[in-house]
Chains A and B, each alone.
Chain A
């Protein structure tokens, strides 16, 4: 949060609250507790309506703190920006029509044929290379 984006020095991931944010959280926290205390005081006394309001303000303050922590957690657990895609290679044997799917290996390309067939004596040809289907994200 405190790092500024220039080329100087390595970057710091946004994993913790800065001291300013922490101070804000503490101040809001104290006020929220004060309001809650006042709320409960008024609730039992002569003015229950005002007590309601104090409790609402106090709860909103605590909710705001919760939201700040939630946001910090969300940022720290972000996925790495460059995800590795899983790629598969499809091989087919022209002699016995055996089809096989395996993980992609460097050097594979479509219509390369240098892998022996596991069923017959033939040589398998790579007929396709594509990314594995990714599971659909839940909304």
Chain B
């Protein structure tokens, strides 16, 4: 083989000379421009993704405008209002002095929620409470897609401008993970427009399975609770108020329920059910049991729950329903739907094992209750 290559590359032959020159030239080019070639190939990959993300972002924008238009009055064109909404931002409080940051964060989040709700109500005065919640979620999904698009575009253009491989690498390395999140949000558009349960609705669905048919009442903003008798015990089941898309304020709900028990039999255990991220290789819909506050988000609600439970000295158990990042905001897959029935049985078993007759147990289904009533 080496002999053959040597024969081809021998200088006596014209073709051999041309080939040898080409090989030498490509070697020299690669010696000096290898990094640039690598940067260009990475930029091309980012460009391809950016194109796809732009398509998804535009789709989100048009779905939002369409949905708001359907719920609005007359020949109102919501485009400028939706576009203004998509540029909304949130400034986190400073953490230079962390004391009291949870309270500040909670207050800001309340203002944000109220602002979003007021904006949606102004855009869609015909919409019911559930529809307003779904529209709010839909616009928030579009807002997230818009931010993803703008950040990827920022790094792409900056990389192109500077041709700095380290700038390009930053976005190129995390692109596969970002794309998965973006695809999940693209599916959220359908879920929030139509009001179908999503992967995150597993917590509220388990709670709904336990409390359905029992009288419920409001216990906090967008939170309901019902007393359910079970095996000689009393369950207080709480979830976000459905069927509109909302996560409610589970921290406030648990705090209010625990505080309202003063003078009555105190709560003996708290069981929280929530969706949890699965690791690659784990099946979607797998159920795991643990200890602690099973709740995601920024941490304000988790803090409130932990504080309340500590104050009343109550053991807190958690049930996690495993799912992939692509399932969380997409319409609920069958594996997660069937996992809810298994989770109900797990809750019952946990109650039987960890409590005794006459006890009161607080069961909280955490997550977005879109498409799930009570």
- A residues contacting B by CB (< 8 A) are 3-6, 11, 14, 38, 47, 49-50, 52-54, 80-85, 87, 104, 106-112, 128-133
In the bound assembly, the distance between CA atoms of A135 and B205 in angstroms comes to 26
Among the 9-residue stretches B32-40, B104-112, B366-374, the one with 4 or more Cβ atoms under 8 Å from chain A is B366-374
Among the 9-residue stretches B184-192, B230-238, B268-276, the one with 4 or more Cβ atoms under 8 Å from chain A is B184-192
Q: List 9 A-B contacts (CB under 8 A).
A: A11-B55, A49-B7, A50-B7, A104-B194, A108-B195, A110-B197, A110-B205, A130-B336, A131-B334
Given contacts A5-B54, A133-B334, contact A110 B373 (CB under 8 A): yes
| Cβ-defined partner of B334 (8 Å) among A14, A54, A130 | A130
Q: Which residues of B contact A85 (CB under 8 A)?
A: 187, 190, 330-331
Given contacts A38-B15, A85-B331, contact A110 B208 (CB under 8 A): yes
Main secondary structure of the interface of A (DSSP, over half): loop
A53, B59: Cβ atoms closer than 8 Å: no
Q: Which residues of A contact B194 (CB under 8 A)?
A: 87, 104, 106
B52, A81: Cβ atoms closer than 8 Å: yes
A81, B56: Cβ atoms closer than 8 Å: yes
Shortest C-beta distance, B106 to chain A (Å), equals 29
B331, A82: Cβ atoms closer than 8 Å: no
A53, B331: Cβ atoms closer than 8 Å: no
In the bound assembly, the distance between CA atoms of A129 and B332 in angstroms comes to 8
In the bound assembly, the distance between CA atoms of A52 and B8 in angstroms comes to 10
Contact with A along B285-323 (1 / 0, CB 8 A): 000000000000000000000000000000000000000
Q: Which residues of B contact A54 (CB under 8 A)?
A: 8, 15
Given contacts A5-B50, A50-B7, contact A131 B332 (CB under 8 A): yes
Excluding A5-B47, A131-B332, 16 further A-B contacts by CB distance (< 8 Å) are A5-B153, A5-B156, A11-B54, A50-B4, A81-B55, A81-B59, A82-B56, A82-B59, A83-B187, A85-B331, A108-B371, A110-B208, A110-B373, A128-B337, A130-B334, A130-B336
The closest CB in chain B to the CB of A134 belongs to B333
Shortest C-beta distance, A68 to chain B (Å), equals 14
Q: Which residues of A contact B4 (CB under 8 A)?
A: 49-50, 52-53
A53, B373: Cβ atoms closer than 8 Å: no
In the bound assembly, the distance between CA atoms of A132 and B333 in angstroms comes to 7
In the bound assembly, the distance between CA atoms of A52 and B7 in angstroms comes to 11
In the bound assembly, the distance between CA atoms of A64 and B131 in angstroms comes to 55
In the bound assembly, the distance between CA atoms of A34 and B212 in angstroms comes to 79
In the bound assembly, the distance between CA atoms of A11 and B55 in angstroms comes to 9
Q: Which residues of B contact A130 (CB under 8 A)?
A: 197, 331-334, 336-337
Cβ of B51 under 8 Å from chain A: yes
B197, A11: Cβ atoms closer than 8 Å: no
A112, B243: Cβ atoms closer than 8 Å: yes
Considering only residues 1-23 of chain B, those with a C-beta below 8 Å from chain A are 3-5, 7-8, 15
Cβ of B360 under 8 Å from chain A: no
A106, B195: Cβ atoms closer than 8 Å: yes
B374, A111: Cβ atoms closer than 8 Å: yes
Cβ of B246 under 8 Å from chain A: no
A-B pairs with lowest CB-CB distance, top 3: A109-B243, A130-B337, A111-B373
Q: Which residues of A contact B205 (CB under 8 A)?
A: 110
Cβ of B203 under 8 Å from chain A: no
A109, B372: Cβ atoms closer than 8 Å: yes
Shortest C-beta distance, A96 to chain B (Å), equals 18
In the bound assembly, the distance between CA atoms of A47 and B8 in angstroms comes to 11
Q: Which residues of A contact B374 (CB under 8 A)?
A: 111
In the bound assembly, the distance between CA atoms of A52 and B51 in angstroms comes to 44
In the bound assembly, the distance between CA atoms of A130 and B243 in angstroms comes to 15
Q: Which residues of A contact B196 (CB under 8 A)?
A: 87, 104, 108, 129
Cβ of B251 under 8 Å from chain A: no
| Cβ-defined partner of A110 (8 Å) among B189, B243, B336 | B243
A109, B242: Cβ atoms closer than 8 Å: yes
Shortest C-beta distance, A15 to chain B (Å), equals 12
Given contacts A82-B186, A131-B333, contact A107 B195 (CB under 8 A): yes
Q: Which residues of A contact B5 (CB under 8 A)?
A: 53
The closest CB in chain B to the CB of A133 belongs to B334
The closest CB in chain B to the CB of A47 belongs to B7
Q: Which residues of B contact A111 (CB under 8 A)?
A: 208, 212, 372-374
| Cβ-defined partner of B7 (8 Å) among A53, A83, A108 | A53
| Cβ-defined partner of A129 (8 Å) among B157, B189, B197 | B197
Q: Which residues of A contact B55 (CB under 8 A)?
A: 11, 80-82
Considering only residues 151-194 of chain B, those with a C-beta below 8 Å from chain A are 153, 156-157, 183, 186-187, 189-190, 194
Q: Which residues of B contact A106 (CB under 8 A)?
A: 194-195
In the bound assembly, the distance between CA atoms of A101 and B59 in angstroms comes to 30
